[in-house]
Structure 1
Amino acid sequence: MRRYLTYQVQLFSELKDSTDYPIEKSLEHDIIDIYERLERASSLANLYSELATDLMDSYISLASHHLNNIMKILTVVTVIFVPLTFMAGIYGMNFEHMPELHYEYGYYFLISMMILLAVILLIIFRKVKWL
C-alpha cells in the first residue's frame, strides 16, 4: 500500500505542479484535493508500516528473552548433572584394581560427594540469581 500510494503521490504531484499537461482550470482544484488525500494516505501507510515493524521487533525481542531464560535453566541442569554423570561413569566401570572398591564406606562416600556437589552448585546458582 505504501509503495502504491507513493507512486500515486508522485504522479499527482507532477500533475499539480507541471504546466506541460493541458488540464482544465476546473480540474485543478480536484487534482490538488486528490493529491492531498493521497499524501495523507501515504503518510498513514508509512506510520502503520513503522508501527507493524516495531510490534514485530518487540515480539521477536520478547521471544528471544524467553528463549534465553529457558537456555539458562537448561545450562544449570547440565552443569549440575555432568559432574554427577562423570562420577557415576567412573565408578560404574568394572575394573578389578580400583582402590576405592575395597573401601567399606566407598559407596556412601561417593553418594554423599555427589549430593554435596549438587547442593554446592545449586547454592552458587542461587547466589548469581540464575535460579
Structure 2
Amino acid sequence: MRINNSKNIIIIGCGRLGSELAIRLSKTHNVVVIDKEESSFERLARRNFIGFTKVIDTNDMEALKNVNVEKADMIYIVTPDDNLNFMLAYGIKKMKENINLAARVNDPIKKAIFIKAGLNLFCPIEDSVIELVEELEKAVGTNE
C-alpha cells in the first residue's frame, strides 16, 4: 500500500547496492530501476520488489530523457563505475539543475571531481571506514 506522500525515485544501476536500495524504497515510494543488463534485475525478482525495471544503455543520455529523469523527485546513481556515475550525474544536472540526485563514488580520491562539479555524492568505502574507526574508538574508549 502506497502512502500519499510517496516520491518518484529513479535508481540507475542494479547491482548489490542499487537492488537493496530499490527493495527498501519500493515499500513506500514509486521506484524505477534502470540498468543496461536485463540479468541485473534477477536480484529484484527474487525479493519483494514493488516497482518497475527498464533496460537502458546508461551511456545514452537521450535514452535517459525518455524515462523522464527530470520529473523524478530523487535519482540515485549507483553503478560500480565512477566515470559513468560522474557523466550521468553531470548530464542529468544539466537537464534539470535543481534535481535531487546522489551519485556513488567508489574511489575516495575521485571525490574532488564530483565536488568541484557541484554534485551530491556518497562514498561507501570512505563512509564505511569512518564508521568502523568511530566504532573502534568508542569500544576502546569504554575500556579505559
Task: Please report the TM-score for the alignment, with normalisation by the length of structure 2.
Answer: 0.21
Greater share of residues in helix: 1
Higher relative strand content: 2
Q: Which has the larger radius of gyration?
A: 1
Under a length normalisation based on structure 1, what TM-score does the superposition of the two structures give? 0.23
Which structure has more relative contact order (CA 8 Å, sep 6+)? It is 1
